[in-house]
Structure 1
Amino acid sequence: MKRHPDVPDFIYDYVNLASPHLGTEVVEASDEFFAPKERLIEDAPAVFVPDRYDAHGKWMDGWETRRRRTTGNDWCLIKMGVSGIVKGVDIDTSHFTGNFPPAASLEGLFSESTPGPEARWRPLVRTTALAGDVHHYISVADLDVVNWLKLQIYPDGGIARLRVHGIPKREWSAEERESEIELSALKNGGRIIAYNDAHYGNVSALLSEGRGRNMGDGWETRRRREPGNDWIIIALGAPGTIHRIEVDTAYFKGNYPDKCSLQAAYIEQGTHQSLVTQAMFWDELLPPQKLKADSVHTFGGKLVADLGPITHLRLNIFPDGGVSRLRLFGKLA
């Protein structure tokens, strides 16, 4: 995964907490006349279809309110699927050129119930000027855990996508500490660190819940035309010992990998590039295993090496192809 010099590290280093794959929902909006609020957090990049119109006017891939003729401003309320600490946001106005808001802000709070008018919101991104058809990358310094977000636009207009990158945070109960946990899951803090290729699909879906919905709901590499194999590096949500592994090739039928293997290690610190280099030499957690089309493969027992607690792993696929879901189950260290 090559990092673009104009894209901040938080985009690559942290989970998008606003992703529907984590259960995040846009629950309320002041207005959504031209384009529904749900599109605001879709995982796929926004697209533009020149000749597409609907009953309300030009079809736009995002959230768009009507032209405001009164005082005030528009807003939407977002319920995060997983609580977390926000590290940075991307307010994306792609394809909104004459209809983007001049400014926006983002607030957050932690609440067990839907916030009401008396809610005490904290600023995550203070009112910031916006431009049309660009990504606005903004770092966030707030260290408090939030599970609700409020995006405000001033006064009206359209936002294509909102990405909220950060660290999922959860408290492990005493019962959970004694139980088997899916340590790789996005909802438990698992995240993608690096990969050599992700030409198709949605790479973050690899660690999400449920089976894939289609062939685009997973990690898929291009057809390899040179020696070697494809790989992806994942950080677990918490250090733990692994007992059971699931590799799901749902919907991958003519393009599933022939084999897969896993390497793993306990890493306390290191740069992105150092992890990529070290991963080539990590111990084998799962030796090469044959895969089948559109199937859930479960590996356990003596097949899974006893490496003790680990924090990171590398999934190797031979030589290329698509994997819908990867799940690693074990106990917290």
Structure 2
Amino acid sequence: MTATPRFTGDANPYGGGDPYADYRTADFPFTQYANLADRRLGAGVVAANDEFFAQRENLLVPERAEFDPEHFGHKGKVMDGWETRRRRGVSAEHPWPAEDDHDWALVRLGAPGVVRGVVVDTAHFRGNYPQAVSVEGTCVAGSPSPAELLADDVKWTTLVPRTPIGGHAANGFEVGVEQRFTHLRVNQHPDGGIARLRVYGEVVPDPAWLAALGTLDVVALENGGRVEDASNLFYSPATNTIQPGRSRKMDDGWETRRRRDQGNDWIRYRLVARSEIRALEIDTAYLKGNSAGWASVSVKDGEDGEWREVLPRTRCQPDTNHRFVLPEPVVGT
């Protein structure tokens, strides 16, 4: 596990203007994977030991954190993130927190999987971020309660060891643990505020659940499908096309920059497993003046297989869900 790159120390106090002007971030290679802690997949922050200043649920808000320098409440500055109170020592002789003192939040992943990277985002927490963070994971079947997750018989595996981080920064950590996880425990040492949490990885669904479903969407992210590559990601990620449910606005879909040649844009998917494909669905919801004019679909069976067109180039309508029943089932991966 490594942090690439490392940000440490305070950011400067907010001095007016764009609050993101001095925000520290980087391009982390693991962000190519799906966000397993996406609310659209059903992720949630199920418990925290303290949320005095700001609520734990803010960690998984999909939009970036906002900052209003004039927004104060009865408990102090209102921050867009999860923020705990300042820890104190046990006596006047020891007024500082103990070495092991920390705050924690339990996160249920929206889709279980292998974690490839974590981003602990401290946007706008310039002097009130935690000195260090650590992240642990566990795999518990069913829908455990917070008390069950914290039971002594639950084994937690370290994904990110206790590591110093920086304020007002995207603190990224690569994870190299080849295990399936359903829940994470995010620890901040000793206290402070975290704006957002992102958990990138590969979905590993419960095979018993897929077997019980029988016929299912074999490219859906929540079932273990994934995007391997795409020709263009200018406006939005191609993974949006396999998120649960229908789009609610234009940027929930996949939009490319305008082409000025005679080529076409494309997405290459990896299915859940070798599957028998019987029908296709292509949805242009909320894409009206910029929807695809035509679409075609080809399928390949295995790495050495040949691409076979199963849906020839077909006209698409704006803001429309298109459904196609194939003349005969096609096997592909």
TM-score where L is the length of structure 2: 0.77
Q: Give the whole-Å Cα distance in 1 for the aligned partners of 2:198 and 2:275.
A: 29
State the percentage of identical aligned residues.
38
Question: Does 2:239 match 1:204?
Answer: yes
Please, which moves more after superposition, 52-61 or 192-201?
Answer: 52-61
State the SS of the aligned residue for 2:311: strand
Q: What is residue 32 of structure 1 aligned with on the other side?
A: 51
Structure 1 counterpart of 2:62: 43
- Could you say if the C-alpha distance between residues 249 and 54 of structure 1 is closer, same or farther in structure 2, counting changes exceeding 3 Å? farther
**2 CA distance for matches of 1:201 and 1:11?**
13
Q: Which residue of 2 aligns with 1:116?
A: 150
Contact 1:201 1:215 in 2 (8 A): no
1:309 aligns with 2:332: yes
After superposition, the Cα gap between the structure-2 partners of 1:29 and 1:229, relative to the gap in structure 1 and judged at 3 Å, is same
CA distance in 2, matches of 1:258, 1:296: 13
1:15 aligns with 2:34: yes
Partner of 1:53 in structure 2? 71
SS at match of 1:21: helix
1:32 deviation in Å? 2.5
1:183, CA displacement in angstroms? 0.8
1:122-161 to structure 2, matched below 5 A, reads 122-161=157-196
- The CA RMSD measured in Å over matched residues stands at 2.9
1:323 corresponding residue in structure 2: none
In the alignment, does 2:207 pair up with 1:172? yes
| Residues in 2 aligned to 1:282 and 1:53: alpha-carbon distance in whole angstroms | 57
Note closer, same or farther for the CA distance 1:232–1:117 as it changes in structure 2 (3 Å cut).
same
User: Is the contact between residue 21 and residue 205 of structure 1 (CA under 8 Å) also seen in structure 2?
Assistant: no
Q: Give 1:297's aligned amino acid.
A: H
Aligned residues of 2:67 and 2:124 also touching (Cα < 8 A): no
Q: State the TM-score, normalized to the length of structure 1.
A: 0.77
Residue-pair matches, total: 293
| Cα distance between partner residues in 2 of 1:207 and 1:19 | 13
Counterpart of 1:320 in structure 2 is none
Q: CA separation in 2, counterparts of 1:103 and 1:175?
A: 39
Which piece of structure 1 moves more, 254-263 or 65-74?
65-74
Post-superposition shift, 1:154?
Answer: 0.7
Q: CA deviation at 1:308?
A: 2.7
Letter in 2 for 1:144: Q
* Structure 2 gap segments, 5+ residues each: 6-25, 90-96
Instruction: Determine if the alignment matches structure 1 residue 229 to structure 2 residue 264.
Output: yes
Partner of 1:300: 325
Q: Displacement of 1:7 after TM fit?
A: 3.7
Distance apart, 1:127 and its partner CA = 0.7
Tell me the residue number matched to 1:329. none
Counterpart-to-counterpart distance in 2, 1:174 and 1:90 = 30
**CA distance in structure 1 between the partners assigned to 2:290 and 2:130 by the alignment:** 43
Distance 1:191 1:175 in 2: 16
- The separation in 1 between residues aligned to 2:262 and 2:65, in whole angstroms, is 35
In 2, Cα distance between the equivalents of 1:34 and 1:287? 56
Aligned mates of 2:209, 2:287 — CA distance in 1: 39
Q: For residue 22 of structure 1, report the CA deviation from its aligned partner.
A: 1.7
Measure the CA separation in 1 of the matches of 2:30 and 2:296.
29
Q: What residue in structure 2 maps to residue 96 of structure 1?
A: 125
Structure 1, unmatched stretches of 5+, are 270-277, 311-333
For residues 60 and 266 of structure 1, what CA distance do their matches in structure 2 show? 50
Residue equivalent to 1:289: 314
